Structure 1
Amino acid sequence: MTEHTPQLTDRELRWFGAILAVALVVVFCLLLPLLYSREIPWWPVGIAALLVLLAATWPRSLAPMHRGWMRVGNVLGWINTRLLLGAVFFLLVVPLGALMRLLGRHGIARGRDASAASYRVPVTSKDPAKDLTRPF
């Protein structure tokens, strides 16, 4: 995980405050009331207005909130990476490997040939469309 967060400019902090305010209103005043058939809460609008006011007048006050937000994002990204890569490995790579093993196929040439001078496979055709010596 990244431990170093760069020094943010006032402009970047203003954008952070504005985007966070809009996201807060969209999630709590639009999406959740529509999904759960509830009435629209007005407290997110007040918090969003405070965020916009702070972003416009004193953006440095949002720096600790930005650092916390980025820490949470880094932790969630770390967890998601492990979950997604683990799922891809165990749901895609392992079954394909087991299937190939059951069928007796190998994706690579296996075994050692003591009499071979090299394991290099020479190119048989010189197709210019597939030759990447001079691609441009």
Structure 2
Amino acid sequence: MTGQAARRAEPALDDDAAALLAAKAVELAKASGLRVAAVVVDAAGQVVAVRRQADSYPTTYHIALAKAFTSANFGRESGEMGRLLAGVERGIHITQADDRLLFIDGGCALVRDGVLVGGIGVSGASADEDLACARGAVEHWVTSR
């Protein structure tokens, strides 16, 4: 084939939706007085959008990315994977095989029409608070489409 490169018909998770997801997660955090970062990745775990409050810890980005990556990789909440692997000997081997995985609450899978399209991760508060912000952003995304 010569000429123009082939283009995808439609991105599974477009940049506008990803930006809105990240912004909503941070908005929810701010409303609760929390300082967080939110990262949205596509189904391959590649970053599509980031929103980090300037006064959040510098490490919040990396932790949120790991939660988002874990959720996109497994199609589940990041903390749920941790609970599923608890007590499973091979769980330790999974984390040793890919250090981008993080099995604590705060990451949610993004599913459109039954298809995994990515993940969102939030970090900076408690794991429960991070998860509430991620879930709230996902709920907003699902109901506003």
Counting strand residues as a fraction of each chain, which structure ranks higher? 2
TM-score (norm 2): 0.24
TM-score of the pair, normalised by structure 1: 0.25
Q: Which has the higher contact order (CA 8 A, sep 6+)?
A: 2
Which protein has the larger Cα radius of gyration, Structure 1 or Structure 2?
1
Q: Which has the higher helix share?
A: 1
